[in-house]
Amino acid sequence: MSQKPFHFETEVIHSGYSSEKYEGSLTPPLFQTATFTFDNALQGEKRFAGQEEGFIYSRLGNPTVKMLEDRMAALEKGEAGLAFSSGMAAVSAILVALTKSGDHILCSQGVYGCTFGFLELLKEKYGISHQFSLMDSREEIEKNILPNTACIYIETPINPTMKLVDLALVSKIAREEGIPVIVDNTFSSPYLQQPLLLGCDVVIHSATKYICGHGDVIAGIAVGKKDFMKKVAMTTQKDIGGIMSPFDAWLLLRGLKTLAVRMDRHCENTSKLFGFLKNHPKVETIFYPGDEGHPDFPIMKKQMKQAGGLISFSIKGTKETAQEFMDKLNLIKIAVSLGDSETLIQHPATMTHAVIPAEERVKMGISETLLRLSVGLESWEDLQADLEQALSAI
Ligand code: LCS
């Protein structure tokens, strides 16, 4: 595979793997092993001392996991990837690696509920403070960068409010200040958005979502500069231990092959359902970055290939009306997670973002009637019919 660069659709299938090295096996082999034997004691000594390349023990690296890490690095246009047991293992390892007691983290105006929980834990246990910001102008960003700001942490689109952050703007300012920018790219996948090309430093994924695409793995990935990722691998990851199992890496390599075609279909279905929901009299507000009336539409056009596979909308009425609507759905499943083949709906205020105190949730734009729809790969006509019958029934 020396004749790079290939297009994304080719990289997602081929990068990080050469069948010639593995008996011609077309698909990546599964190295389901905890440890690796050394030819002799000296080889073991050299591997531990970092004087000889090679595998040691699967918490420190595994060939199948490495194939996934290399493929994700290629897709995100980064130097090195690192796989984790969950998205939260990736989020926590990267934040721990970049901060020390007394530091400050500047965050986008909304983060996934457990990321919020981890930020609170850092504050309570280690005095690492954080602050949320809309990051919608140079002044707003500069004002919130403090002398002890150690990193900037961004979700875009933000879960579940679908607000966007201008990554080129933030990374330009952060670079002037020498502060690394971490982007949780879960909602977009590298097919729709490549934050490292916009000047950001580290990309994180809950690989549980679009990277996997089949709803059968919990996993995380981080991609960034080689030296930094090596440091994370040999410190926070090795010693805290949130590593990915070889079988999960194998499943992810398999799921990834269809990322580009899946994302096109997710995006197409979502834009169709947006057209239906936008005009429905029982829908109060709707948040979708592909909406020309969305305040962040110009940012979407600038930094995303398409608008993604998620829509959030609020139902006219109360929390109970929203829950009644969910209960009336037949084809669409009530479940957290996203990026699966199946269309899923969830109620952020009582589910993914329930750990966030109510007043903070409201500031983030998460009301009691807000619902998040992760649009799957089914026929959009069938999905629309299900939404229509449930809306008529409330
Ligand atoms: N980052 C984002 C943006 C997420 O949406 C999630 C999980 C995580 C990180 C954590 O990843 P995990 O450890 O679960 O692999 N988001 C979920 C959601 O919205 N519904 O269920 C889980």
| List of residues 6+ apart from 267 with CB closer than 8 A | 192, 290, 306, 307, 308, 309
Is residue 151 within 8 A of residue 287, CB to CB? The reply is: no
Is residue 133 within 8 A of residue 170, CB to CB? The reply is: no
Which tens digits make up the pLDDT trace of 198-254?
Answer: 999 999 999 999 999 999 999 999 999 999 999 999 999 999 999 999 999 999 999
Ligand 1 touching residue 220 (CB < 6 A): yes
Ligand 1 touching residue 88 (CB < 6 A): yes
Q: Is 39 exposed, middle or buried (0-12, 13-18, 19+ CB in 10 A)?
A: exposed
pLDDT of residue 234: 92
Ligand 1 touching residue 352 (CB < 6 A): yes
Q: Which of 196, 200, 197, 187 is nearest to 337 (CA)?
A: 187
Query: Cα 366 to chain center, whole Å?
Result: 19
pLDDT of residue 364: 86
pTM (2 d.p.):
0.96
Mutation probe of ligand 1 site: the residue of 114, 184, 334 with most atoms within 8 A of C-beta: 114
Distance CA 218, CA 205 (A): 11
The CA dihedral of 35, 38, 42, 45, to the nearest 10 degrees, is -10
Which tens digits make up the pLDDT trace of 254-300?
Answer: 999 999 999 999 999 999 999 999 999 999 999 999 999 999 999 99
Structure tokens at 210: 């679009």
Name residue 373's beta-bridge partners. Answer: 311, 345
Atom of ligand 1 nearest to the CA of 155: 3
Q: Is 147 exposed, middle or buried (0-12, 13-18, 19+ CB in 10 A)?
A: exposed
Q: Which domains does the chain have, with CATH numbers?
A: 8-256 (3.40.640.10), 259-392 (3.90.1150.10)
Residue nearest atom 4 in ligand 1 by C-alpha distance? 112
Ligand 1 touching residue 188 (CB < 6 A): no
